[in-house]
Homo-oligomer: A and B are copies of this chain.
Amino acid sequence: MSSETNNNATAVSAAEGVEEDESKNPSSTGTTISKKAAKKEQMKLEKKKRQEEAAAASAAAALASAELESDPLSGNYGDIPIHELQSKEVTQRKWNEIGSLDENLKDKEVLIRGRVQTIRPVSKTIAFLVLRQKGFTVQCVVTAAPELVSKQMVKYASSLNKESIVDVYGIVSKPNEPIKAATQQVEVQVSRLYCINRAIEKLPINFEDAIRSEAEIEAAALENKQLARVNRDTRLDYRVLDIRTPAKQGIFRIQCQVENIFRNFLISKGFVGIHTPKLIAGSSEGGSAVFKLDYKGQPACLAQSPQLHKQIAICGDFNRVFEVGHVFRAEDSYTHRHLCEFIGLDVEMEINEHYSEVMKIVDELFVAIFDGLNENCKKELEAVGKQFPFEPLKYLRETLVLTFKEGVQMLQEAGVEIGFEDDLNTESEKKLGQLVLEKYGTEFYILHRYPLKVRPFYTMSCYDDPTYSNSFDVFIRGTI
């Protein structure tokens, strides 16, 4: 049960980096398909192993239930059989949220439901369980006491498998020492303990391994200690376990918040949310590769962009529209800018007289998202940062807007060889980001008036200089 014996998690791969793409694409399809063939045999073996483990677990449960019979307090604990969970009746039971457990509940009885994150049997008369629910954890103490808690119950608690779901009835107490093992600073003195859903004994991913940061692993390696690293392929194979970790929970919840802020901000500015077709007759953009499929005998494509349909909506008098939806691109490149499937946050709007109207909306939108995340997602950002450390984004109350020319000048002054009509490559974008940060103290800025020749054919040229165009890009940390 210790993390060191876990076969799946101990393989160390140099290629495994910080999962920075995770926040952009919740899809795991790409990786699993491409590695499928090679893994088939291994999977088969693992399946057999799991079956054996499940059998062992149920044997253990049977043994446990045999012991119960000899215990007069056996009604206070045990595995709940499935037919008792079958929507039997609507009781008046109220479950307390683990995240809500605090000193105010001292000496009160609570009922909580959570996953067993850790199990620490101290002796035959005492065992500690840490229960987790929605990212919050609480320490539960099972102490043998005459007429209340039997030794068999302590043994039962110690025999639970990690990640099992249990119902715990107990009294809230406040220890003198701060509790390091859990988020909640109270304990629950367990009086009754029921397992609602028993996990198999050995899970392919250990929770404590899955939450470990790369820095922790590397620091241990320096002391010649090898800590388990859960690789991305293992995480994707057992996604259901991987997404229980606080960092992943945080990433998904932050994604949801980004969408909320995006929608609410745009709706407040008169935008209408639309959903455009994804099965289309032709490719939506010339540049990127397209997934083709058979549509009832006719050739069809998956939309690479909602561009055309957004524009139909604008010409159709919707004035301002946005879409949050799937985008499909049959990309052959493996960079964090190339994804086969992702969720696009798209905006399209009428211009009254100047493209700066669009820049203003986009600028305010980003600032609203940054502000909103800092305000509403403190816990989630902290959880992500714990596993994947990052610095808070530096951005100004009044967003910096530079012309392309000004940007190139800054690069030239810094010794970069670049002409006023050249496009920025990834390197010069990063360099400019660094220069802007040094000079203006922001990692978020807008660059506009790009050279016409580096933009798509449909871009409008500038009124006063046909070399440049009515266009802009938004930079965060040196990347578009």
Contacts and interface: CB of A to CB of B under 8 A. Distances in A.
Nearest to A270: B134
Could you say how many copies of this chain the assembly holds? 2
Contacts of A343: 275
Interface stretch (A177-185, A348-356, A365-373, A433-441): A348-356
B300 A274 contact: no
A230 interface: no
Interface residues of A, number: 86
Contacts of A240: 312, 315-316
A85 to B, nearest CB: 8
A93 B29 contact: no
A317 B134 contact: yes
A42 B291 CA distance: 30
A44 interface: no
A459 to B, nearest CB: 11
A455 interface: no
A275 B33 CA distance: 19
B325 A463 contact: no
Contact of A462 (B86, B252, B293, B324): B86
Contact of A243 (B26, B133, B313, B470): B313
A328 interface: yes
Interface string A224-248: 0000000000000001111110001
Interface of A: 26-30, 32-34, 36, 83, 85-91, 93, 95, 113, 115, 132-134, 239-244, 248-249, 252-253, 255-256, 259-260, 263, 267, 272-281, 291-296, 298, 300, 302, 312-313, 315-319, 324-326, 328, 330, 332, 340-341, 343, 351-356, 460-463, 470
Given A87-B463, A277-B341, A293-B293, 9 more contacts: A88-B354, A89-B354, A243-B312, A244-B317, A249-B317, A256-B273, A291-B294, A293-B294, A325-B326
